[in-house]
Amino acid sequence: MIQVLHISAECYPAAKTGGLGDVVGSLPKYMTQAGVLTAAIIPKYSLKWINHQDWVTVYAGSVWINWKQWHFRIQQQAGNTLGYPLFVVDIPGLHDRPGIYNDPSGAPYRDEIERYIAFQQAVLEWLLSFPWQERPRVLHCHDHHTALIPWMVKHCPAYQQLAPIPTIFTIHNGQYQGAFGWSSGHLLPPYEAGARGLLDWQGIVNPMAAAIKTAWAVSTVSRSYLFELHENSMGLESLFRQEWQKQHGIINGIDAEIWDPVTDPMIQSRLEADNIAKFKTRNKRALCEWFGFPYDAPLISFIGRMVGEKGVDLLPDAYRRFIHSGARASFLVLGTGEAWTEKQFRSMSHQFPGRFNAVIDYNEGLSHQIYAGSDFLIMPSRVEPCGLNQMYAMRYGTIPIVRSVGGLKDTVPDIGEPGNSGRGIRFDHFSLEDVFHAIYRAVSMWHNDPGIVTHLRERIMAVDFSWEQTIGQYFGVYRSIGAKIEPVKNAPAAEPAFSEISPGPVESAPETAAVPAAVPEATPEKPVSRKTEAKATPKKSAPAEKPPVEKAIKKKEKQKTAPVKPATKTAATKTKTEQKVPPEKPLQKSVPAKTKQAGPPKKPDKPKPAPPENKKKK
């Protein structure tokens, strides 16, 4: 049984534009490894990774939006190769497009409101098909794309059967609230008359405000960012202060298996025998050769989206001022974003060869190499709810230069602070002078105190930013709101209960649609050899027997001659006779070839365990 269901617009590697995808792609994996079977569900976009997977339809239905019926299918990734069950909501005509939020030209989709209202309703329709005892124990909603779910389950009669399930709403970026005018209010499902006020905030429909009011718990991705939202949250300050009792600040983690300098296949030289100096030297030389930088000068890099909230508009003037000052340093930029900023960086590449270079692109593989080969990583953010780049950088021995805001403040103490706990260089004010001074401190330390740089690298690479440190805090929040989350140690994860295929677009569903793929066991993996690294998890144990499919096939044959009825039984009601059917061969997945936007490191396929034989319920 799925205990926690993460509902989101993004999930790495299926769909990602920023930190939201990284977090939702990691939380289910590490929660499942901790013994709590966790799944994720996102819309089915027409993206390369999604299109290269095999999908099994486990439910089909429809929702009504403004007198228009939208048919949908819930599909599960065959084989569960991500380490947890990943589901997608396939709504032809709404989400099957080559972009998550924008079309290939960069223009946002005009039907964004309708797209995500339909997505949220489809998820709830699917959950209603579960027998009560098999429904998730927590619905974990991420950002405004899923913010109406806590309100819907409480105040929409169609979904009030799900109201007893605890809901938690996590804010990854409070600047994007999903607000829309009441002129689009007809797109919402029917709701109780008294619930209109929960949707309204300052005369418009604000999904984030509705979630803060109606969710059982609210979390942000760092403690400092939670306090900042009380002071500046685009008009929601008073609401945050009013609902403070149910709010939690939990810092994100990073996937220590993907971001591992010992095993990372995307970098030129891996860490061997804890020889950090050799590791940094070889990777820096590779970058300097590629981009024409001198090796005997510090290399300061920026990786990320070139947008206002990242503070990247300060960097062109700061870099020019520093280069003209005569100080020796090199600067490298990787990312895409606003046209004005991109143009500035392209121009500087020609103006300062050997001192500055820019790659205007999203390139996952190159980002790994930059983290491994740079001396410093700069993050002059205006707003940074958590920030993952500074953690990636420290994992690879690159010293962060950050502004004291949000998660950057929580994860990067300044080297000048007492207690000998500094991890990088911080500055407080969002100004050209502060950025310039921070860069000057970093360059001076590199030239004049190389011993401090070496010691600092050793310290930051020993910090544990893995998800194992974070999921325990989420489990604590779940239990504080009454969720019965129980880790299952040394036992195979139960098969999630799915309804039979419901009336709707059944013709397009495969014959085995009612039989979901196997769910992996929740056992830890083998830790890496380096003592100071964040602990990863052991390899999974041998797979259990595959459940029989005879009953599902018989039901499918009956569906051809008789009307489809709502399902009331699950896979758990199969008899002992049916359990003697030989197990099926587990599904295998082929990994697509790397593209320009490289994905996570390729790992060998692991055996995909199947759920145990189902016992007859009493």
Domains of the chain, with CATH numbers? 4-254+467-580 (3.40.50.2000), 276-461 (3.40.50.2000)
- C-alpha 205/C-alpha 191 separation (Å) is 14
Output the six-digit token pair for 500. Answer: 């039979």
Of the pLDDT bands very low, low, confident and very high (cuts 50, 70, 90), residue 532 is: very low
Dump pLDDT digits (tens) for 15-70: 998 889 989 999 999 999 999 999 999 999 999 999 999 999 999 999 999 889 99
- C-alpha 16/C-alpha 26 separation (Å) is 12
Q: What is the mean pLDDT of the chain?
A: 84
Residue 311 Ramachandran class (φ > 0 left, ψ -120 to 50 alpha, else beta):
left
Using an 8 Å Cβ cutoff, are 320 and 349 in contact? no
Q: How many residues does the chain have?
A: 618
Q: Which helix (H) or strand (E) holds 558?
A: helix 550-559
pLDDT at 512: 34
Residues 6+ apart with CB under 8 A from 606: 81, 539, 540
Dump pLDDT digits (tens) for 211-270: 999 999 999 999 999 999 999 999 999 999 999 999 999 999 998 888 999 999 999 999
pLDDT of 407 > 90? The answer is yes
Output the six-digit token pair for 188. Answer: 């919402």
pLDDT of 117 > 90? The answer is yes
pLDDT of 101 > 50? The answer is yes
Say which amino acid occupies 338.
E
Residues 6+ apart with CB under 8 A from 361: 334, 335, 336, 596, 597
Q: C-alpha distances in angstroms, 610 versus 489, 522, 540, 603?
A: 16, 12, 12, 20
Strand order across the 299-303 sheet:
356-360, 330-335, 299-303, 376-379, 399-403, 425-427
Using an 8 Å Cβ cutoff, are 347 and 358 in contact? no
Dump pLDDT digits (tens) for 432-450: 999 999 999 999 999 999 9
Dump pLDDT digits (tens) for 146-192: 999 999 999 999 999 999 999 999 999 999 999 999 999 999 999 99
Bigger pLDDT: 516 vs 394: 394
Q: What share of the chain is helix, strand, coil (3-state, %, to 5)?
A: 35, 15, 50
